[in-house]
Structure 1
Amino acid sequence: MVKSFIMFLFTFSLSAAWAGQVTVQDVLGRDVTFNAPAQRVIVGFYPEDYMAIGTEAAYDKVVGMSKYIWQARSANWDMYVKHRPSLDDIPGIGRVDTQTFSVEKVISLNPDVLMLADWQFKGLATDIERLESAGIKVVVVDYNAQTLERHIKSTELIGVITGQEKRAAKIAAEYKATVDSISKRLADANLPKPKVYTEFGASGIQELGFTFGKNMWGAISTMAGGDNISAPFVEWWGKLNPEQVIASNPDIVVITGYETGKGTDSMIMGQGVDATEARKRLAGYKDRLGWSSISAVKNNRLYSAYHGACRTILDAAMIQFYAKAMYPEVFSDLNPEQAYMDFYKKYLPVTPEGTFVLAL
């Protein structure tokens, strides 16, 4: 009888150990099996999304992080660290894009799951085999593509990793509802598509900054009903010839920015940024060489957005922003900045203060 009881306990313990095992298909169609919710996670990218979807408690299980993408938004990072000081103690793992990503550091942290962005996974190439041979499960997510499919899939994957499937489903459904509503209203209005140009304004007025083709702001502007002038010339991101911008004659210009830039004329937006200063810097772009002939400048249709508010599940508000900028009569009821703040109030433990969208 004792032997039977011991066997029962062994069988029960074995079953319990494997009770949380799941197999997911990540955004690249790779089947990944791990125990969920994961108990030791490294967050390679999308740190705010991980908290919004997984809740703040998800960071109790984060043992490593590629911190630079969060710390690049220094005011945002400081806001979170002030609320949760332990974030600052999470070990860093380096960057894929600067070849400082440390496979050895990742292995030493003994994670169950390493969550990577699509571009990180591809950049690591054969290092992925080293990580997987060490028993680390690699799950690939992707908000950079700015497609509805990948936004939803990535949100669902984070929900599984953190054990917050219901919360993830709710957030994904709300995002889809925003996209579907804008698409329907555009179809009903059936208006000509305005030409739109988006530029990351960190370099300031004198130097043309990066623009976007079929991802990030390029995809957002297209999703919101615009004709992205950069798409024929830039696949992902890059710089247009200055003459090409003028020749394309955009109806709408959006200059994005972080809280800091390279100089005093850089576009700044975000946490702690005063709207008067941001508007002053945006107005400076009207004086850029050759831009006086552009329709957007002639008609004062220059706008700015927070660069940290794209490639994230939070960017439904930015789709609203572009839609309203391009079709003000159709979307006069939308309040994109309020929508952005409301997401924080609903799903995150902090709420930023500053300037996140702007019209000249």
Structure 2
Amino acid sequence: MKTPKIYPHALFVLFLLGMVAAGPVSATDTGALPLDTNGDALISTDELAASVLTYMERTYAGSADADQYTDLRDGAYVYTYWNQTAKTVQDSSGQVVTLTRPIRRAVVMNGEAAETMRSLGYDSTAVVGIGKYILDDPVFFPEYAGMPNVGSVWSPDYEQIISLSPDAVFIYADFMDSKGDEIQQTIQSMNPAVHVLRYDLFEPETYAKEVGLLAAAIDREDEGARFAAFYTQQMDTVTDRVAAIPEGERVPVYFESSDDFKSCAEGSGYHDKIIIAGGQNIFGNATPSYPVVNPESVLFGNPAVVVKLQGNGKLDFGGYEDDDTSKTAEVYNSLLRRPGWQTLQAVKDGRVHIIDTDVFGGPKHFIGILYLATWFYPDLFADVNPEEIHQEYLTTYQHSMYDVTSHGVFVYPAAQSLDG
């Protein structure tokens, strides 16, 4: 005979005892069941448990008695949400981790993880330490201002990390394989109880899958499914439409990084994004993956579209922190004045563009790919507005008040300027 599930009743008794201990509280009869958060006229186990756990957290967090309630709190969570047992998750490195408690104290060292966790609705107050480069981006990550600095992924402050007593530390996976191994081994040698979870979260080919892996680790599976669906919808909009374009008819593109005449080739992330957007990289077969090309070879390639990158290196301006387009305009005009460039098809047709790293790398790469697609095939993507999708991402998933129509320099010339 199956043992009846009686734990919710025990939780309810605990809840009542807590209320009695806190003193009498008057309540108004609104005609609705208390704790019935979804309005179905039934109090479910999940609704009851969530309310009791929230009450316990608010009542005992930070108190002198907090420690004695930790096991009860986490045990109740495991019982209610993890089917009464430990939870096994996997990170992007293939590492399988067994969690015996939810991750309530997190150290996040890579910005891609911090941004994606925000898309999944992870409580930022549960983040107790943050990476140096995230702190260096206060416009995009204002909630972490003043947070303890745990150094960079290249130079971690191990003593600071351990002092924060994290349940988990989030670092990169394949992007920094050997360094990641070093970080994980060092942290776990200092405190074996700390989980080190590894995700890259910037590559188009794996991003949706990584979102699911991360969502499982932080108990945000439903939010992960919703966000992955949004992301996949944007990517499918591009890939489905360009799939019908024959290879020989794809738009020839010259991509240039922030360094003059430093391009990209097969094996680079920039090349992959050009291909996803339906372009034909005129230096796709060059070596190495980020070749410095001869200026005359650009003229010989005669690209139909030119894309220049800003936001790093010697062009470290624009993006979320910059509302002034003057520096970007100077770069744009300098491209047009290059010797021989007036003969390029891209210049003749007004198809020279600048894009910022803030929308071309990391989790927001899909926004940059949308921009590329609209530049490569304006008729095919006439109904797609990357700026609107960018704003939807910020408002709905990043929970940000940032307005991209009045702030930031993400592309140049702006879309309305091209239309006008």
Which sits farther off after the overlay, 15-24 or 166-175? 15-24
2:160 to 105, 129, 144: 105
Residue 256 of structure 1 is matched in structure 2 by: 309
Residues 1:95 and 2:160 are matched in the alignment: no
Superposed, which structure 2 residues align to 1:237-248 within 5 Å? 237=290, 239-248=292-301
Residue 212 of structure 2 is matched in structure 1 by: 156
Residues 1:142 and 2:200 are matched in the alignment: yes
Name structure 2 gaps, 5 residues minimum.
1-9, 12-70
Residues 1:193 and 2:243 are matched in the alignment: no
Residue 108 of structure 2 is matched in structure 1 by: 43
Residues 1:177 and 2:227 are matched in the alignment: no
Residue 285 of structure 2 is matched in structure 1 by: 232
Deviation at 1:101, TM superposition (A): 2.2
Name structure 1 gaps, 5 residues minimum.
1-7
Residues 1:287 and 2:348 are matched in the alignment: no
1:237-285 per-position Cα deviation (integer Å, ceiling 9, x unaligned):
4644545444443321111222x8637xx77444433456634431321
Normalising to structure 2: TM-score of the pair?
0.69
- Does the CA-based 8 Å contact 1:145-1:219 persist in structure 2? no
* Bigger radius of gyration: 2
- Does the CA-based 8 Å contact 2:263-2:283 persist in structure 1? no
Query: Are residues 289 and 37 of structure 1, via their aligned partners in 2, closer, same or farther at CA, if it must alter by over 3 Å?
Result: farther
- Does the CA-based 8 Å contact 2:265-2:286 persist in structure 1? no
- Does the CA-based 8 Å contact 2:202-2:361 persist in structure 1? yes
Please tell me the residue identity of whatever aligns with 2:159: E
Structure-2 separation of matches of 1:110 and 1:68? 21
Deviation at 1:160, TM superposition (A): 2.4
Structure-2 separation of matches of 1:217 and 1:113? 32
Residue 57 of structure 2 is matched in structure 1 by: none
Pick 1 or 2: higher relative contact order, CA cutoff 8 A, min separation 6: 1
Which sits farther off after the overlay, 286-295 or 174-183? 286-295
1:327-357 per-position Cα deviation (integer Å, ceiling 9, x unaligned):
1111111111111111111122322422322
- Does the CA-based 8 Å contact 2:306-2:346 persist in structure 1? yes
Residue 53 of structure 1 is matched in structure 2 by: 119
SS in 2 for 1:355: coil
Q: State percent identity of aligned pairs.
A: 24
Please tell me the residue identity of whatever aligns with 1:105: Q
Deviation at 1:41, TM superposition (A): 1.0
Structure-2 separation of matches of 1:212 and 1:58? 39
Alignment size in residue pairs: 331
Residues 1:337 and 2:387 are matched in the alignment: yes
Residue 139 of structure 2 is matched in structure 1 by: 78
Normalising to structure 1: TM-score of the pair?
0.79
